Amino acid sequence: MKYTHHNGELTLKNLNESVHLKGWVAKVRNLGGLLFIDLRDRYGITQLLCKPENSNYQTALKIRNEYVIDIEGLVIERESKNKLMHTGDIEVDITNLTILSTAETPPIMISDESDALEETRLKYRYLDLRRPVMQNYLIKRHEITQSIRRTLVESGFYELETPILGKSTPEGARDYLVPSRLYPGTFFALPQSPQIYKQLFMVAGFEKYFQIARCFRDEDLRADRQPEFTQIDVEASFIDEEDIQNVIEKLMKNLFHDVLNIEIETPFLRMTYLDAMTQYGTDKPDLRYDLKIQNFTNTLKPLNIPLFEGKEFVRSLRIKNASSITRKRIDQLTELVKKNHGDALAYIKFADQALTGSVAKYFTPDVIKDLNLSDQEMIFFVPGTFENTSSALSSLRIALAEELSLIPENEYKFLWVTDWPLLEYNEEEKRYYAMHHPFTAPKDANVLKNDPKHAMAKAYDIVLNGYEIGGGSIRIHNQEVQRLMFDTLGLSKHDIETRFGFFVDALKYGTPPHGGLALGLDRIVMLMTHTSNIKDVIAFPKTQSAKDLMMQAPSEVDINQLNDLMIKVDKS
Amino acid sequence: MKYTHHNGELTLKNLNESVHLKGWVAKVRNLGGLLFIDLRDRYGITQLLCKPENSNYQTALKIRNEYVIDIEGLVIERESKNKLMHTGDIEVDITNLTILSTAETPPIMISDESDALEETRLKYRYLDLRRPVMQNYLIKRHEITQSIRRTLVESGFYELETPILGKSTPEGARDYLVPSRLYPGTFFALPQSPQIYKQLFMVAGFEKYFQIARCFRDEDLRADRQPEFTQIDVEASFIDEEDIQNVIEKLMKNLFHDVLNIEIETPFLRMTYLDAMTQYGTDKPDLRYDLKIQNFTNTLKPLNIPLFEGKEFVRSLRIKNASSITRKRIDQLTELVKKNHGDALAYIKFADQALTGSVAKYFTPDVIKDLNLSDQEMIFFVPGTFENTSSALSSLRIALAEELSLIPENEYKFLWVTDWPLLEYNEEEKRYYAMHHPFTAPKDANVLKNDPKHAMAKAYDIVLNGYEIGGGSIRIHNQEVQRLMFDTLGLSKHDIETRFGFFVDALKYGTPPHGGLALGLDRIVMLMTHTSNIKDVIAFPKTQSAKDLMMQAPSEVDINQLNDLMIKVDKS
């Protein structure tokens, strides 16, 4: 290409060189005849200079923001240097200037700071993405993808593609359907994950597979969900939990080194599901700060506190240096606790040698003494079932950590959560659901058969800073166990046959033991770029109501298209 | 992992080592008590040995083909070596044997040779893929993908993802539609290519983009088409034709080096569309052999051959050493010519100093002398229009090259076909169609405006051994030219607005000059693995009638799913 440099590279080392640059005009300043132009490309900004005596001056005067130009010029030293910019010591004196493309005034500012409405930003996504901060999200995503792929390829995994036009086997989330034209009345479904395909790769003997796979769920969207998302899908044969965890730890170590130049420690901490729930109230605890849940049930029983009467558990969070927590803040925290299934929030506070708080009066001197409270220490209590107190205290824990600035920035704490229950019982529907999915291997098939409620799974989740970034399991590789699992989930023989018949069939021709996991790419990019908006890390996202505001999709289609498919819209 | 070796690596160097292996039983031979087992994994085969005195013998006797087993043993030297196998000098004397998984007799043989029907192979795809020859196709596909990606990443291209749930803008092929649940009566469409998205990446300033992108076309399938296919999608800004061609040549050079250890020459040959049609009758000539079309129109005019009377062109193929071509074969070739729009096939043959053939009697001694024919030389003539003779002679050329064994195996001849017409006129519909697509830049916008029929495109196709493996163009980056293009294609203002409004809009905010291309990954894998069946290079392909025989998709879905979408099937 004819361009000699990009806009992020020229320094005093290039002094007096003739250079050829291109890019977008980020800014034009006319200082009493002297024209300065900031030229931007994906690498950075170079300052250009055009004096009135320059033969290009008349052309330069026409230039507006976001014009695309091509210039030749001479690298000269700046009079007033900008130490914040890599190219801040030099400027380029234009010798030839060509306008490649003009630009109307864009509807949003092309700068890192933007006060445009999200709706406007999404409509003009191609301009929103021109903002350097937004470009950086996708560039990091690119780098993250390359690093992850490198580790997997070097570890002997084959990257294999699976179909997007698959079969509808709804279990859990809703499928996106695609009407078949050749077989009217039948439908393909977009995959919620390549789960079955990747297991079939193991049956087929590929031994190690991965894919950076697009997945689809037609769900009512939450803020951090998109109708289509990308997962790093991994599966291997002849392995156990430890093997797959080792691969992923290596992947993460390389990833953080490659992209952020941060060395993370391996092996990661392992914690059982039960320990996580007991100590943190959640299956994805943020371990960047301590703040564990304590069980006060037995300590408090003798105090006969009316609020805790008849409650199965009283669990608590205990914080030091709580002077900043006002009554008003406690009211807000009480709301938070109730929103998260907590029955109530009670507290005591020790300050200036006195115990105050909503339940302070019930505390006997002995109990107070045993608590060994320091000045400005508080204890929050939530009564209720194990599940409800877990949920409430987990939210309270996060709120308190933020309040007390306990969360270190730029720290990355990984955790494997292991030893999951295999099933959860739905009281309303009177049936079991798979806690992960119906292909997860039980630790003991006999327990699944005889006491499904207590069956444990060979499953593991990977958690980073309080977010589940992936999960997986060793899979069932025995046909009989797979049938037992489907039976336990209440699938009829007919259901099994029509939905998973081919898969159960596949298991009988020599299936190796196998397992794997899937990592959420979007979430990983979010955590590594410190954004809380999933749309920032997806080039062309949908809104929370599953619309593409730029393309105006979904849209009505030609009636002939529907006739071809033999389908009719029926809003009645 | 606990396994010490895979099945493709043990040699005499490992003699007396204790090893731990796993895999599938490819074969069991019981030689008078002595049991030999061929153990297979994705890397190869190792021969195992189990003697009757071995404590594992009773277990070993139970083993059948395709059982999955785990063994420990001692590497010993074979008595009768197999020089064709890398592991053929050794065998492993089993010291411990575990059956991991049993297997019923598979419905197809797990061996390179297969006489199973394609339908059976597709139904049991997970077993078909267990055949080493099939595994190799996908392993090569993996290697090809990695190599291509490496070159693009090293050349500064960002790998960026674009949506699968897009907008329907039918032009050419039919879209697959996805009903929206949240906005009943509206639809997403699966992308036929990421064309618009990648151009928007250029508008957004990413400068160099690529994606290994899934694309979808709901067409009546030909043998080498699939409803979903994968393309290497590339786009760059501030480039011209030569720049993008250079990148792709580097990519191909690295690819053939990395995967096949073949050094291909760059730069590739360039040929204009007109030259290709004139010399080879096709826009994708196979240059592994010469055999050019010659224009005999003027030479033959004075001979007044009735068959050629009133024909615009008489064009021909001239072959030496044609002794093998019989009258019967000529009849077949005549059929071929007619099937490919040829009016007729005539020929002369010079043998034993005599000229024979269907039109020999019209040839005067002077003309014969000028032809300077050698013994056993033939000339085939096809009369008709330029288009029809091109089509007919192109097919004839391939048939003759096969007949005369002119096509060298394992040779790879690349070609850029350049200087394409921008538009083609459809006489029936009385309108122009874009020869590539409506975003292709004209060489001269004034010609497009004033004489569209003669407008030329900044387009280029890349051809390998007679197959188009990719194509691209410099794109329109000027809003007015884009509108002119849509106008010329007969799109109404309303059409432009509803279908491409946002895109035309995008062009006005400073669009860099840009262009790119897309390579067909499936086709490239086919050519590099020497298979003619596209299904061989796709893990889970559809049949020619767009069915997944393994999953039984498309399939009927629950009525609730359709009710959610507010659509009804109407086969009336």
- Whether the pLDDT of residue B273 is over 70: the answer is yes
Which one of A65, A557, A558, A560 would you mutate to disrupt binding with B, by most B Cβ within 10 Å of its Cβ?
A557
Instruction: Show the tokens assigned to A477.
Output: 């590789």
**Going by C-beta distance under 8 Å and a sequence separation of 6 or more, which residues neighbour residue B276?**
B282, B283, B284, B285, B417
Distance of residue B486 Cα from the nearest chain A Cα, in angstroms: 18
Q: What's the pLDDT score for residue B453?
A: 94
Three-state SS for A472? strand
Measured CA to CA, the distance from residue B157 to residue A138 in angstroms comes to 12
Q: Is A61 on the interface with B (CB under 8 A)?
A: no
Tell me which of B105, B124, B178 to substitute to probe the interface with A (most A C-beta atoms closer than 10 Å): B178
How far apart CA B453 and CA B422 sit, in angstroms, is 8
pLDDT digits (tens, 9 = 90+) for B356-373: 999 999 999 999 999 999
Q: Is B551 on the interface with A (CB under 8 A)?
A: yes
pLDDT at B1: 63
How many other β-carbons are positioned within 10 Å of the β-carbon of residue A441?
24
Q: pLDDT tens-digit profile of B104-163?
A: 999 999 988 888 999 999 999 999 999 999 999 999 999 999 999 999 999 999 999 999
Distance CA B453, CA B333 (A): 34
Chain B positions in Cβ-Cβ contact with residue A72 (cut-off 8 Å): none
Kindly indicate the confidence band of residue B3, based on its pLDDT and cuts at 50, 70 and 90. Answer: very high
Q: Is B380 on the interface with A (CB under 8 A)?
A: no
The pLDDT value given to residue B495: 85
- Are B462 and B251 within 8 A, CB to CB? no
Mean pLDDT of residues grouped by 10 in chain A (572 residues)? Answer: 92 98 97 93 97 96 97 96 95 98 95 90 97 97 98 98 92 89 96 96 98 94 86 97 97 98 97 98 97 95 93 96 92 96 95 93 92 95 96 97 92 97 93 93 96 97 97 96 94 88 94 98 97 96 95 93 93 80
Q: In B, which residues are within 8 Å of A165 by CB distance?
A: 176, 216, 227-228, 542, 548, 553-554
Contact residues, chain A, for B206 at CB < 8 Å: 42, 129, 135, 138
Q: Is A564 an interface residue toward B (CB < 8 Å)?
A: yes
Mutate to test the interface with A, among B126, B195, B482, B542 (most CBs of A within 10 A): B126
Quote the crossing angle between the two packed helices B521-529 and B241-260, to the nearest 10°: 40
Specify whether the backbone of A341 is left (phi greater than 0), alpha (psi in -120 to 50) or beta: left
- Threshold 0.90, pTM exceeds: yes
Enter the DSSP assignment of B57.
H
The verdict on domain B289-403 having CATH code 3.30.1360.30 is yes
A12-101: CATH number: 2.40.50.140
DSSP per residue, B346-397:
EEEEEETTEEESTTGGG--HHHHHHHTPPTTEEEEEEEE-HHHHHHHHHHHH
Q: Kindly list the distances between the CA atom of residue A453 and the CA atoms of A429, A456, A492, in Å, as whole numbers in the listed order.
A: 15, 9, 20
Using a pLDDT cut of 90, give the percent of chain B over it: 92
CA distance A199 to A195: 6
Write down the pLDDT at residue A171.
66
The ranges assigned to domains in chain A are: 12-101, 135-270+414-537, 289-403
The whole-angstrom separation of Cα B416 and Cα B267 is 10
Task: Please answer yes or no on whether A159 and B146 come within 8 Å at the CB atom.
Answer: yes
Task: Provide the pLDDT confidence category of residue B499 given band limits of 50, 70 and 90.
Answer: confident
Q: What is the pLDDT of residue A1?
A: 62
**Residue whose C-alpha is closest to residue A441's, from A466, A465, A415, A422:** A422
Q: Is the dihedral of CA B464, B470, B471, B474 positive or negative?
A: negative
pLDDT digits (tens, 9 = 90+) for B185-220: 999 999 999 999 999 999 999 999 999 999 999 988
For B245-256, write each residue's pLDDT tens digit. 999 999 999 999
| CB spacing of B546 vs A182 below 8 angstroms | yes
Using alpha carbons, list the distances in angstroms from residue A335 to A70, A286, A340, A394, B246: 59, 22, 9, 14, 63
Kindly report, residue by residue over B225-237, the tens digit of the pLDDT. Answer: 899 999 999 999 9
Which is nearest to A474 in space by CA: A511, A515, A419? A515
**Min Cα–Cα distance to chain A from B171, Å:** 12
Three-state secondary-structure class, residue A304 = coil
- B135-270+414-537 folds as BirA Bifunctional Protein; domain 2 (3.30.930)
Q: How many CB atoms lie within 10 A of CB B450?
A: 10
A219 φ, ψ (degrees, to nearest 5): -110, 160
